[in-house]
Amino acid sequence: MKAPDIVETALSVTRILESLGIDHYIGGSLASSAFGLARSTMDIDIAADIKPELAPILEEKFQAQFYVDREAIERAIRDKSSFNLIHLETMFKIDIFVVSDEPYDRQAMGRRLRRSLSEEGVHQADFSSPEDIILRKLLWFRSGGKTSNRQWEDVLGVIKVQGEDLDAGYLEPWAERLGVFELLQKALAEGGRQAK
């Protein structure tokens, strides 16, 4: 039997979230690979809008395929932080970030995009928009002391691939509000795109 790849593992999580009506999207390196330059990753990042009453149901649904800690789920929901799952077959780690009521978190959730994960178009999932991938990765880059080449290269990859399709009218004001405007300008210049 072929071991599931990281996309199949991500889909096994998103299907459970969808079955419970939980708004969510794939972010992180899987998203930047989908909208930018592909690179290998062993981690899956998913943002999800999880209500407290769903914690025991999530534990029950996840535990057949994943190591899951209900207390960690409940704590993440309460603190608007994250919890992780470990896929038992592959040991892939999935970080689930519980979205907050902050305006930016709500905007990003509202802008998620449905995208096919295979050439046949059979498997689909919700992804962070390209603009929000850039903003999130710039925030991670800044919080990590501006030393992560991987985060920076992911940003540049999305800029290079998306090019003029990027919505500067959304990207720039939020970069300003989130405190990453100068980093955005630097990334746009390095990626060969000047903001309009």
Res. 128: pLDDT tops 50: yes
Same domain, 77 and 138: no
Report residue 123's pLDDT band, with 50, 70 and 90 as the boundaries. confident
Res. 106: pLDDT tops 50: yes
Residue 120 lies in a domain: yes
Question: Which one of 91, 112, 127 terminates a domain?
Answer: 127
Residue 121 lies in a domain: yes
Report residue 122's pLDDT band, with 50, 70 and 90 as the boundaries. low
Domain count for the chain, please give it: 2
CA 84-86-91 angle, to 5 degrees, is 140
User: Tens of pLDDT along 182-195?
Assistant: 999 999 999 877 55
Average pLDDT of the chain to the nearest whole number: 90
pLDDT of amino acid 2: 35
Residue 196 lies in a domain: no
